[in-house]
Amino acid sequence: MIFTENLDHNPQAVTLEKLPDGTAWLYLRKDAHEVRTEAPEGEQGGTSWECTTALCKLGSDYAEETVESITAAADDWWVYAEAWTTADEAAPSLEERVSVLETLFMGGEL
């Protein structure tokens, strides 16, 4: 999934959150810039950081990956991230999946 993220700090380009089951959450970030927020009259505005973020859960087959190895091949990982997004969008909807199951259980053909 690729989205615009708003943070209270300047983010790292790569964050890898390893999980006990051997999988990991991978955050790729680019185009980070400081954003000033306007406040209502009489109040003080603030600043935050906005960036483009790609998020994916890596399987245990990627357990050897590190922040350093991903950073070294950042452009390749962004291409991979765009493929995650395309795969997510190509997945059948819940309604489509239920319809297929209903057809199968009712004895119909697809």
Q: Domain-by-domain residue ranges, the chain?
A: 2-105
CB neighbours of 94 closer than 8 A, spacing ≥ 6? none
Q: What is the pLDDT of residue 48?
A: 93
Q: How many CB atoms lie within 10 A of CB 65?
A: 17
CB neighbours of 97 closer than 8 A, spacing ≥ 6? none
Q: How many CB atoms lie within 10 A of CB 16?
A: 19
Whole-structure pTM value:
0.71
- Cα 22 to Cα 15: distance, rounded to the nearest angstrom: 16
Regions of the chain where pLDDT drops below 70: 85-92, 108-110
